[in-house]
Amino acid sequence: MPQPQLERLAIEDVSKVYGDHIALRDFSLDVAGGEFVALLGPSGCGKSTMLNCLAGLLPLTSGRISIDGERIDPLPPERRRFGMVFQNYALFPHLSIGRNVAFGLESQRVPKAEIGPRIARALHQVRLDGLEDRYPAQLSGGQQQRVAMARAIVLEPRLILMDEPLSNLDAQLRTELRTELRRLHQDLGLTTIYVTHDQSEALSLADRLVVLRNGRQLQIGTPATVYAEPADAFVAAFMGYRNLIPARRRSGGNGEVVVELADGGVSLRGVDRSASTGEQVVVAVRPSDFAVVPPGEAGDSSTADNSITCVVRVVEYQGEENAVEAEAPGGLRLHFRTTERVAPEERVAIHVDASRLLVFGADE
Amino acid sequence: MSEHARPLRERLAEHGIDRVLWLVLPAAALLGMLFVYPFVYGLGLSVQPNEGAPVIGNYVRFFSDDFERSTIWKTLVLAIPAAVVNVGISIPIAYKMRGPVRNKRLITTLLVMPATLGTVLVAEGLIRYFGPIGWFNQFLMAIGLIDGPLRLTHNYVGVMASLIITGFPLSLLLVLGHASGIDPDLERAAATLGAGPSERFRRVVLPLMLPGITIAFILAFVAAFSVFPSAVMVGNPAGETRVISIAAYQAAFERFDYPMASAIAMIMAAVQFAIVAFVFLLRGRLYRGSTSGGKG
């Protein structure tokens, strides 16, 4: 694996304020050379603001950014030696693909004799050999984004910034290009900051995730940690815990807790992930962690261990399994996935393992 | 089903010929009546000179008479610099205003206001303001910059000022309209690739603005080339600003030589056409496609 271009990128207490709107609040992050970090969150969470601050396209309100001890936040974008890939590709429409890729090399006064071979190598790395003379409008969206990547990596930047680079592509291309991105990162070892709202993209690409909401960092961790141990109900929702059920704390200790769903009636055991011991809690369960209790096995399903009885409302066939929306007592909507054949209006009991049911404080 | 079995209407529709095409009729009729017919009629008239002269007699007369022939040059030295200046001022303003700017509507309204005034009003204003006892000269004399009044009206300067005041708004609107369509991410991308502000303007923004600049230049030039009221009112219509439209006017309404006036009008059209064709030729060698960096 090639040597990364920087040892350590340090972002310290960066804030960005527009009038009375705080877009980003005390963002701090240490990135090691060669690392792939994803900033994940819904639109308006501050992830693009952070990226633009890094690129130098937005001035910071406060805080500092440094690379290997050298402050870079006062530098204009053209002097930072970063590569950036935009959601809408941002290729220069009046220049051929070759000239697009050459743009940065020409700006940085790279000798003419070197430019041609470097363009060819960059285009080869993104598998677009021989397209130098085409124009952006003649390429597909996926090809255009590959050109944008080639244009960024040809400069051998010390940091690559990607702003939702796959969002404008259709689903199949997105998966394809995602693999390509991962491969490029493995081959070149470029330190990368990647902004996305798509959790599957973040999980599959990044070495580390930063989950953001309303300009605040909610959680920093490896994809496995964030996926398995979300810090709060919001991160859980983002990581696919589609069932977020308001409930009341009944008893607990040693990390285990018993909760009663808001409508009364049902009690469930789960893992206590809340910071406080407040009574109001939110129960988080992934649709795939519910399992339908076979009717014969449980006998009276209401007594089955850690389960809820509900009425099936909507069944979506999704190939290997069905995605089901069901109604529990009190009008509660639950989502689960099952390979069993279930039909609307059918009564089923669904079971969840206590270790897969997370309990968060309601006010966090 | 064979090709011939299908109804004619269906087959015509495939080539874009259907009932919607009738909507073109009013415009086509108008164009015929107001442009094609007068042009053909004028062309015909221009080759029927009075008193049995040869067919191209009017054209020979125009080009052999120094006083008439010089009007082409007099008009060009007004129209081309006026168009260059108008478009030239528009480019930096449009560049600054292409993104979100506070009070953009107010600024645009103020800048475009002169276009609503009309040439005659502007000319009257110029006579008073720039005249020998106008405020402008009085101010310059008061601060001791000049001893006597400058001659700013009833000459080339007056007409040029009028052409700029009335022509600038249109140029700005055209250039601004085009510049606003340029994706701001392109400049940002150029910046991250190492291009400083002037390089970004030169290599990204200006090339993408050029098609708009070309159109603005052509329209500004054509408008200035047919200058008439201001050349008479704030110019020197017997001398340095005897533009070609004055020559045509005098032929038609002072000497009542309609064939000659038509010939001058034809020469006017030919000169304009030559300049426009030349500019389009230049533009054809430049990029004129999309101004965005990908799909939005």
Inter-chain residue contact B192 with A141, CB threshold 8 Å: no
pTM: predicted TM-score of the whole model, two decimal places? 0.82
Contacts of B191 in chain A (CB under 8 A): 56-57, 76-78
- Looking at residue A329, its pLDDT comes to 83
Q: Which of A79, A107, A148 sits opposite B199 (nearest CB)?
A: A107
Beta-bridged to residue A30, according to DSSP, are: A10
**pLDDT (tens digit per residue) in A267-319:** 888 998 887 777 889 999 999 999 998 876 555 544 467 888 899 999 999 88
For testing contact with chain B, the best of A53, A92, A139, A177 (most B CBs within 10 A)? A92
Under 8 Å CB pairs connecting chains A and B tally to: 99
Gap from A81 CA to chain B (nearest CA, Å): 7
A103 vs B: CB within 8 A: yes
**pLDDT (tens digit per residue) in A67-108:** 999 999 999 999 999 999 999 999 999 999 999 999 999 999
Distance CA B144, CA B137 (A): 11
Q: What's the sign of the alpha-carbon dihedral A309, A310, A311, A315?
A: negative
Distance CA B30, CA B41 (A): 16
**pLDDT (tens digit per residue) in A15-38:** 999 989 999 999 999 999 999 999
| pLDDT band for position B258 (cuts 50, 70, 90) | very high
Residues of B with CB under 8 A from a CB of A: 183, 185-186, 188-196, 199, 203-204, 207-208, 287, 289-296
Distance CA A347, CA A344 (A): 9
List, as own/partner pairs, every contact residues A260-263 make where C-beta atoms lie below 8 angstroms and the sequence separation is at least 24, other chains included: A261/A308, A261/A328, A261/A330, A261/A332, A262/A330, A262/A332, A263/A328, A263/A329, A263/A330, A263/A331, A263/A332
Model ipTM? Answer: 0.85
Percent of chain A with pLDDT over 90: 70
**pLDDT (tens digit per residue) in A113-156:** 999 999 999 999 999 999 999 999 999 999 999 999 999 999 99
**pLDDT (tens digit per residue) in B276-290:** 999 988 887 765 566
Mean confidence (pLDDT) of chain B:
89
- Looking at residue B236, its pLDDT comes to 92
Distance CA B188, CA B205 (A): 11
Residue A52: how many other CB atoms lie within 10 Å = 21
Q: Is the pLDDT of residue B54 over 50?
A: yes
Q: Which of B195, B199, B290 sits opposite A137 (nearest CB)?
A: B290
**pLDDT (tens digit per residue) in A318-363:** 888 999 999 988 888 999 999 988 899 999 999 999 989 999 988 6
State the number of CA atoms in the 13 A half-sphere of A311 facing the CB: 7
Closest-CA residue in chain B for A78?
B194
B-contacting residues of A 33-92, CB under 8 Å?
55-57, 76-84, 86, 88-92
Measure CA of the first residue to CA of the last residue in chain B; give whole Å: 43
Mean pLDDT computed over A160-189: 91
- Looking at residue A159, its pLDDT comes to 94
